[in-house]
Amino acid sequence: MTAVPSPRQALEDIALCLVFFTRLPLPVFDFRDRSLASAIWAAPITGLAVALIGAVIYAVGTKLGLAGGPAAALALASTLLATGCLHEDGLSDVADGFGGGRTREKKLEIMRDSRIGAYGACALGLSLLIRWSVLSEFATSAQLLFALVAAHAGSRGLLGAFMHLLPPARDDGLSAGAGAVSAETAVLGGALGALALLALGLGGAVVALILLGLLFAAFRALCLNQIGGQTGDTVGALQQLGEITILLVASVSLS
């Protein structure tokens, strides 16, 4: 894609991202004219849908008398169900591969293994603990909604730029099969993600942008050093790290 998509293409891209990044029951679409690389700008919109699901579950839970902790756990669980733990799987695979492999080839081999090791289990446990602990501290459903929108949409705004700036580490796999992401697509997705951060307020959005920039640069350098590029797993891990970063900012800016 070399230009902003037409309205028809935009709708197709949104649908493609929803189909790829979530397990929501959707109609059957014909995506032969579009690719994930061209549609990745719409990933923040997918994040918005996931955030709304979590916020609705939290609101219903608290309305029924649940305390903040259990309601937050249900909200988090609903987002995991909505995405099929796609990005969580990437985080655990990257933790196992980067932590347990000594060579580039061994790291990639471990990341492809469906079994989870100690590094992956610890990474998942910490991710869930941090996210739940932040969500459980919000006093109102509105605060939680703003935090989820910023975290899920904002973190997914990083994905296009990450795929654009790093070469695939493998010749096969999800990332290689997605195709090359253009600069225009990466910028559009990043702009939508940045816009979502305004849910944290202007000050919170600025802090989140700075921290996400630092995270992006550090994780990009790590991936280049460890495996020479990016894979679908590293894209998922970046989303998880971005989501956690934004939620930590939200715990300060929305409290």
Per-residue pLDDT of the chain (255 residues; tens, 9 = 90+): 446 778 888 888 999 999 999 999 888 777 777 889 999 999 999 999 999 999 999 999 999 999 999 999 999 999 999 999 999 999 999 999 999 999 999 999 999 998 999 999 999 999 999 999 999 999 999 999 999 999 999 999 999 999 999 999 988 766 665 678 999 999 999 999 999 999 999 999 999 999 999 999 999 999 999 999 999 999 999 999 999 999 999 999 998
Residues counted in the chain: 255
- What are the structure tokens assigned to 205, written together? 């959005």
pLDDT at 26: 85
Q: For residue 168, what are the β-bridge partners?
A: 230
C-alpha 47/C-alpha 41 separation (Å) is: 11
Q: Which amino acid is at 146?
A: F
Per-residue pLDDT tens digits for 159-168 = 999 999 999 9
pLDDT at 2: 47
**DSSP annotation of 129:** H
pLDDT at 115: 93
Could you give the 3-state DSSP secondary structure of residue 160?
helix
Per-residue pLDDT tens digits for 130-182 = 999 999 999 999 999 999 999 999 999 999 999 999 999 988 766 665 678 99
Q: Is pTM, for the whole model, over 0.85?
A: yes
Q: What is the mean pLDDT of the chain?
A: 94
Residue with the two structure tokens 């996931």:
50
pLDDT at 1: 42
Residue with the two structure tokens 């849908």:
49
Q: HSE-up of 116 (CA within 13 Å, CB side)?
A: 12
C-alpha 102/C-alpha 111 separation (Å) is: 13
